[in-house]
Amino acid sequence: MMGHAARDTLGLALQAAIRWPDQFGGVVLRMRSGPVSDRIRVFLGDEFGHGTRVHGAMDRTALLGGIDPIATLQQGVLVHTTGVLQGAKWVHVPMAERVPAAVIHILTNRMDAGNCPPLILWDEGIDDEAVSTNLADRCAFFLDLSDAVGIDPADGLRDIPHDLRWAEVIVSDAQITALVTLAIRGGVTSLRLPLFAVRFAKLLAALEGRAQTSDADITAAVVTVVAPRLIEIPSPDPETAPPPDQPNQADATPHDEGAATADDIAPLLDMMIAAVQANLPKNLLDTSLGRMGAGRGTLGAGKRQRSNTLGRPKPSRVGKPGYGKRIDVLATLRAAAPWQKIRRAARPDAPAKFIIFPSDIHVKQYEMPSERVVIFGVDASGSAALARLSEAKGAIEIMLADAYAKRDYVALVGFRGQAAELLLPPTRSLVMAKKTLAGFAGGGGTPLASGMKCALDLAEKSKRDGRTPTLAFLTDGKANIALDGSANRDSAMVDVTHLAAFARQLGVSSIMIDVGRRPNAALHQIADKMGGQYLPLPRADAQSVSDVIRHTMAD
């Protein structure tokens, strides 16, 4: 749900979720961090009090409480801590699309038990990144505010009486049947969403002082709750009504009194479908499918990453346990042992036989490698396009030959004409690479800026997935298409310079392979600005390209 509908519903959705968390679960807000999200956070604090922040690094003890090891060691008696989920008015989860499975498991269990505070999940992902389906399906509201500008969350607030008995509002069988039918036709498999929609329709009716929901209430609930989760565009079923030359089966066979028939739900179902289709954003089905298949990468053999639980053991360090960190008992005792005589003299009444201070606590740490992904940016413009594509194809095939052994991924971005195109997402499949490259043709202008932007977006996503990206551009550097699509060489080089500075800030290894007939000084400067290598290879072959990239990755 997005646009005006999402803006109008935002205030009421937040109000309902925080007021009745056991009935509505929470709200998923899909939007990038910025002024609009800051305004919503301020509104939440002003309207509903201070919320508690939950992030992916929290462990079970931090969320639900448990034994405090430092206080226990100091006092010699068992000391328990209070988790952040205990007593919180409401909980907000920034970057909810990256919450690990362990935290999702804890939150979903609490929601199923009915003792979880209301959740506000900030979905800040791009492309197919999304909040876990298990968690999002337990939240009644999914509001896509990606394009929202100048939104005021207070606009949707309603004056809800404390004694509002909306659960007693009646919903007809025909309305429930039409609602479930539309959800099924839209590919919704979760039974929670129709139930959330019924509850929201009851709330809308109660706010208007009615004891029974109207068709407008149930339609508004469908648009708000069910429509954002559809993975198919629902359409009227021509088989709903009987053919004109046959008697109505509802009249020919007896049925339960009060049960909804096809004729009963047909007008309401058509009205729901029309309302849903009118509010569908253009990319709704793509993002819905992305949410259905959102996954996380595994770890492999790129840069070393610090871990609290997995990998090769490293020397322990002074730190505070919790958030997945484990106490190194031997190192802690070793640090405290030399001071026992002094501490015992200073605290003769201490109950503990072995006195430990917080500064003695050492936590374990590990180191493990991450997967590597090589992102090729191939200039397919001009007369040399076929040669460059041949070199890139050969280099990709060489690198994929040992990808399984070295855990490397390869991706390909081609740029020609007016824009860039992601030809090959990160993969180890040689068959997929060959099929994808076979149909890519060359010619046209040189949108180097667009190619760099596409490759950098993929590199940024790879880093968020725990991979180590390396950029390899094969180009002559004669950029003549700006990011806005205009054929302006000066603007194009300005865009390229800005993107090069961004690549340096991103901290991505890069190499600029100049395949022009003569070395290009401007391209050399771009490589320096990126913090990468520049290599003129006018007669580069596939083997030399792959060797250079391997050397860059090893560095």
Of 92, 88, 66, whose CA–CA distance to 79 is shortest?
Answer: 66
- pTM given for the model: 0.54
Strand partners, 375: 411, 471
Angstrom distance (rounded) from CA 7 to CA 155: 8
What DSSP element (H or E) covers 52? Answer: strand 52-53
The pLDDT of residue 195 is 93
Q: 75-80: long-range contacts at Cβ-Cβ below 8 A with a sequence spacing of 24 or more?
A: 75/351, 75/352, 76/350, 76/351, 76/352, 76/353, 77/351
Angstrom distance (rounded) from CA 401 to CA 546: 11
Token pair listed for 346 = 């200073």
Q: Are 225 and 272 in contact (CB under 8 A)?
A: no
More confident residue, 397 or 58: 58
What DSSP element (H or E) covers 318? Answer: strand 312-318
The pLDDT of residue 70 is 72
**Tens-digit pLDDT profile for residues 406-451:** 667 888 888 888 888 888 888 877 677 667 766 666 667 888 899 9
Judge: domain 1-61+74-160, CATH 3.40.50.300. yes
Q: How would you class 122 by CB atoms within 10 Å of its CB: exposed for 0-12, middle for 13-18, buried for 19 or more?
A: buried
pLDDT of 476 above 90: no
Domain limits, the chain: 1-61+74-160, 162-241+258-296, 308-368, 371-554
Q: Which CATH superfamily is domain 371-554 in?
A: von Willebrand factor, type A domain (3.40.50.410)
pLDDT of 26 above 60: yes
The pLDDT of residue 1 is 42
**Tens-digit pLDDT profile for residues 3-17:** 445 556 788 888 889
**Tens-digit pLDDT profile for residues 33-44:** 777 888 888 888
Token pair listed for 174 = 């025909």
**Tens-digit pLDDT profile for residues 508-545:** 888 888 877 778 888 889 999 998 888 776 655 667 66
Token pair listed for 16 = 């309902």
Q: Are 147 and 231 in contact (CB under 8 A)?
A: no
Angstrom distance (rounded) from CA 180 to CA 178: 6
CATH topology of domain 162-241+258-296: Helicase, Ruva Protein; domain 3 (1.10.8)
Angstrom distance (rounded) from CA 259 to CA 535: 75
Check if 1-61+74-160 and 371-554 are the same fold.
yes
Once rounded to an integer, what is the mean pLDDT over residues 132-146? 87
